[in-house]
Amino acid sequence: MRSLELFTLLLFKQKRYKLYMKQEKFFRLLPIEGAYNIRDLGGYPTSDHKHVKWKTFIRSGDLDKLTESDLDYLTSLHIRTDIDFRSMQEKKAAADKIPSTVTQYIPLSIEAGDMTDMTHFNLNNIPGILEQAYVYIIQNAQDTYREFFRIVSEERNTPLLFHCSAGKDRTGIAAALLLGALGVDREVIMEDYMLSAEYIKGKYDAIVQAHPGFAPLTTVRKEYLEAAFQTIDTDYQGMDNYLKNQLGVDTHRLRMLYTE
């Protein structure tokens, strides 16, 4: 009888949590017209029964089409730091529009690596190519993410916005690492990652209509981030060790600063 009660309680908690996450995501997406996939990382539960602070970390796609009202809204959040993971070419083609409160624009370019040997662009293998790109980033963008965490570790740099072009891959990995450092469960991290599939709808419609085979490039799949997690677990003995040994992250400090 006791086992049945525990099972029922667990099932109830799971259903309540799923409802909470479903409702919360509507508060997470910012009311911005000129950018896709721009959302708050606050509110996620941590392993020590706290939550990530709201209005502290904003993840986004590119910011070159922000309207005046968008800039006014972001200014109201008192964002201090804008971290841009895009390549130099991407930045030149679509320079950020920056809220007036931002005192630091920090370019931290992440390239997907030399893809020439794995991108003959067999359209049937695009998911596999992206999985390899995620693995490459975990292995080869450590200097960039180390600098990202150095900036994050100073509270004076927050509220902080970080972004790439779509806000799903380079930014998605950064968000996954940041949430992991703050003690957020991996299942929840994956849920946040998968929100990009919903919030970038429309951005690449013209490309997909012209080239349907490129659709996997314009969204996210669990397999992409799982490939990154598997590399972290296999090559670096788990998230905590990767953060500490490869990126120099003081997770205790981050949790003291950014959870409540």
pLDDT at residue 13 is higher than 50: no
Quick check: pTM over 0.85? yes
pLDDT at residue 14 is higher than 50: no
Task: Quote the pLDDT of residue 115.
Answer: 41
Task: Quote the pLDDT of residue 48.
Answer: 96
Q: Is residue 166 part of a domain?
A: yes
Can you tell me whether residue 250 is helix, strand or coil?
Answer: coil
Q: Is residue 12 part of a domain?
A: no
Q: Is residue 24 part of a domain?
A: no
Rounded distance between C-alpha atoms, residue 11 and residue 133, angstroms: 37
Task: Quote the pLDDT of residue 122.
Answer: 64
Task: Quote the pLDDT of residue 5.
Answer: 57
Can you tell me whether residue 82 is helix, strand or coil?
Answer: strand
The helix or strand, by DSSP H or E, that contains position 84, with its residue range, turns out to be strand 81-84
Q: Which of 20-29, 69-78, 122-131, 175-184 has the lowest mean pLDDT?
A: 20-29
pLDDT at residue 126 is higher than 90: no
Rounded distance between C-alpha atoms, residue 254 and residue 47, angstroms: 14
Rounded distance between C-alpha atoms, residue 127 and residue 149, angstroms: 29
Q: Is residue 185 part of a domain?
A: yes
Task: Quote the pLDDT of residue 147.
Answer: 99
- Amino acid type, 208: V
Rounded distance between C-alpha atoms, residue 233 and residue 140, angstroms: 16
Domain that holds residue 87: 31-258
Q: Are strands 81-84 and 104-107 parallel, antiparallel or unpaired?
A: parallel
- Supply the CATH number for residue 249's domain: 3.90.190.10
Under a CB-based contact definition with an 8 Å cutoff, are residues 213 and 126 in contact?
Answer: yes
pLDDT digits (tens, 9 = 90+) for 72-107: 999 999 999 999 999 999 999 999 999 999 999 999
Read off the pLDDT of each residue in 165-193 and give the average, rounded to a whole number. 98
pLDDT at residue 151 is higher than 50: yes
pLDDT digits (tens, 9 = 90+) for 15-48: 444 444 444 665 799 999 999 999 999 999 999 9
Q: Is residue 14 part of a domain?
A: no
Tokens 């314009």, residue located: 218
The helix or strand, by DSSP H or E, that contains position 81, with its residue range, turns out to be strand 81-84
pLDDT digits (tens, 9 = 90+) for 228-260: 999 999 999 999 999 999 999 999 999 999 999
**What is the Cα gyration radius of the chain?**
19
Rounded distance between C-alpha atoms, residue 94 and residue 120, angstroms: 27
* Peptide bond just before 159 cis, omega within 30 deg: yes
| 19/221: higher pLDDT | 221
* Model confidence band, residue 139 (pLDDT cutoffs 50, 70, 90): very high
Share of the chain above pLDDT 70, in %: 85
Task: Quote the pLDDT of residue 234.
Answer: 98
* Model confidence band, residue 201 (pLDDT cutoffs 50, 70, 90): confident
Q: Is residue 13 part of a domain?
A: no
Q: In b/e form, how buried is each residue of 187-198, taking b as 16+ CB within 10 angstroms?
A: ebbbebbbbbee
Can you tell me whether residue 57 is helix, strand or coil?
Answer: strand
Task: Quote the pLDDT of residue 208.
Answer: 86
* Peptide bond just before 31 cis, omega within 30 deg: no
Q: Is residue 9 part of a domain?
A: no
Number of domains composing the chain: 1
Q: Burial, 18: exposed, middle or buried (Cβ in 10 Å; 0-12, 13-18, 19+)? A: exposed
Task: Please report, for residues 78, 89, 256, the alpha-carbon distance to residue 156 in angstroms, rounded to integers and kept in the order given.
Answer: 12, 30, 14
Q: Is residue 1 part of a domain?
A: no
Q: Which of 89-98, 165-174, 188-197, 211-220 has the lowest mean pLDDT?
A: 211-220
